[in-house]
Amino acid sequence: MSMRGLAVGLALLVGLLLGLLGGGGSILMVPLLTYVAGLDPQEAIASSLFVVGVTSLLSVALHARASHVRWGTGALFGAAGMVGALLGGLLGSALPGPVLMIGFAIVMLLSARGMIRGRRGGASTVRAEAADPTEVRPRLGGLLSAGVGVGMVTGLVGAGGGFLIVPALVLMAHLPMSVAVGTSLLVIAMQTLAGFVGKMAGVDLDWPFIGVLTGLAFLGALIGVAVGNRVPDKALKTGFGWFVLLMGLGVLGVEVAGLVRAAA
């Protein structure tokens, strides 16, 4: 199997994680396209934004069938995220590839830390998840600020930010976990597609390859949504957190070694 063929196969995993957790798959897509498919970092990030954005948008419909999408809250958070993602995409286009990949590795390590340790404030989180979201007013300022911040990360490094979005929706919008996962996909779709608009101007993309990646990722999302209720969420997130931690350390090591060789 060619390296691009392997990348296409692994796109199934990206979609699976998006469908299961409302995020996480996108954090694998950029290193997958860079190191496995051999794409330039700028092209890899732009391609990742498109694949993750379209896959998330299609996955929203699957979660909506179970009433696991809060449209108003997601649109508000997502609109703020689109502004941040557009700015991040424009800024990221002016940065060297190694800088972007090191930044991406840092995002991976921070995300892994959050998944392994879990959300802080367990008691308040339980109350937030148990509360009727129609009876609790979201913290509008915090929700908008979080949206812009996560959107900047999305546009800069091509990561949808699901593991940042879901806790924000639980703690600031007081959504139950299952609803936060579905709503996260709406936000990811809005942010990644906005980041793609900001990124695509200066990048030549292989559209047939991207189309195949998107199709496999959506197939994975279908599977992820179907089995999501049968997998213990805490165990899955912790195990994936360790996987992302190792991958982040690997990306960081490769990029730092490359800079050292270039400076020698």
Strand ranges (E), 178-251? none
Q: Could you state, in order of their start, the residue ranges of all structural domains in the chain?
A: 3-263
Distance, in Å, from the CA atom of 55 to the CA atom of 77, rounded to the nearest integer, reads 19
For the record, the structure tokens of 213 come out as 């990646």
Query: What crossing angle do the helices spanning 3-21 and 177-199 adopt, rounded to 10°?
Result: 140
User: Does 116 or 24 have the greater pLDDT score?
Assistant: 116
Bigger pLDDT: 133 vs 5: 5
Q: What share of the chain has pLDDT > 70, as a percent?
A: 87
Per-residue pLDDT reduced to its tens digit, 153-199: 777 776 656 767 877 787 778 888 778 888 999 998 888 888 888 88
Burial of 215 (0-12, 13-18, 19+ CB in 10 A): middle
Closest CA to 138 of 94, 179, 108: 179
**pLDDT tens, position by position, 216-238:** 999 999 998 888 767 776 776 67
Mean pLDDT over 123-145 rounds to: 55
Mean pLDDT of the chain: 80
Residue 154 · residue 81 · CB < 8 Å: yes
* pLDDT in the model for residue 107: 78
